[in-house]
Amino acid sequence: MTKTANYGAVLRNNIYVHELGDGIRLEGEVSPCVFMYPGYPLQVTVTLRRHSGESLGVAYAVDRALTVETATDADVSRLLSAIQSTSCGRCSEPAFDPATVETTRGGLCEACFVGDLDAELAKFAEAENRRLANRDRRMKAKGMTVRVSAWIHPAERGDDYQADWYFATRPTPAGIRKLLRKEGSIIPADFQIIDL
Ligand SMILES: [Zn+2]
């Protein structure tokens, strides 16, 4: 069987540039998964960049009809040239036009998108702290004097998770290590004793 040379075949780490004007450009790179998994559809990781090099966000362009076997440089260029930029819905910085490329940014620029995310996380952390403070107060009223907060590191599979215990009498570090080992943690020293 002879293999026909695929003229202009896509290469790993090849950067494709598409100028958008106004000091910004698109940089495309065929995603590593396309080279790693046979039959994976052509996917291009696209970065919106200022000419200074600053990244304004990343999006993905896909052509499901093509794979690494059939895609060419021209296909990547075609995908890139279909993508347009728009002004961020909030601060008018450049952003991907969500009508032209798959993005989770919803027409916001990277800074506004990340800012929203941070605000969301801060709100979540605040609610979590409030919840914990309320519980500490309740447990103290029940006669508990300390809270032990630990990260459980399971030996196999599964993510690390946090666990809390309350005690009326302060437990010894050895006692806590025993408790954490019983819980299945392979790093039984990852805990904190908090006085209520
Ligand atoms: Zn913005």
pTM of the model: 0.64
DSSP letters along 89-118, please? TTT--EEE-TTTSB-SSTT--HHHHHHHHH
pLDDT at 155: 83
What is the structure's pLDDT at 2?
A: 44
41 CA distance to ligand 1 centroid (A)? 31
Please give the pLDDT value at position 4. Answer: 53
Nearest residue to 136 via CA among 127, 147, 125, 126: 147
Cα(90) to ligand 1 centroid in Å equals 5
- CB neighbour class for 19 (10 Å; exposed up to 12, middle 13-18, buried from 19): exposed
Instruction: Sort strands 42-50 and 55-63 into parallel, antiparallel or unpaired.
Output: antiparallel
Query: What is the 42 CA–ligand 1 centroid distance (Å)?
Result: 30
Q: Give pLDDT tens digits along the chain (196 positions).
A: 444 555 678 988 899 999 999 899 999 999 999 999 989 999 999 999 999 999 998 999 999 999 999 999 999 999 999 999 999 989 989 999 999 998 878 889 988 999 999 999 999 999 999 999 999 999 999 999 999 999 999 887 778 999 999 999 999 999 999 999 999 899 889 999 999 9
